[in-house]
Amino acid sequence: MSHTVAQLLCLVGFSALAFGLRRPQHDILRRSLRRPVVLALRAAGASALLAALAVLVDASGWGFGLVKFSGHTTLAAALVYLALIGYGRRSAMRQ
- Residue whose C-alpha is closest to residue 80's, from 4, 27, 24, 42: 24
CA 17, distance to chain mean position in Å, is 6
**What value, to the nearest 5°, has the Cα angle with vertex 89 and ends 87 and 94?**
95
Reported as a single tens digit per residue, the pLDDT across 39-65 is 999 999 999 999 999 999 999 999 999
**Whole-number pLDDT of residue 3:** 93
Q: 8 φ, ψ to 5°?
A: -65, -40
Q: For the chain, what are the domain ranges?
A: 2-94
Is residue 52 a contact partner of residue 72, using CB atoms and an 8 Å limit?
yes
In the prediction, which pLDDT does 80 show? 95
- Per-residue pLDDT for the chain (95 aa), expressed as one digit of tens each? 889 999 999 999 999 999 998 888 888 888 888 999 999 999 999 999 999 999 999 999 999 999 999 999 999 999 999 999 988 888 778 76
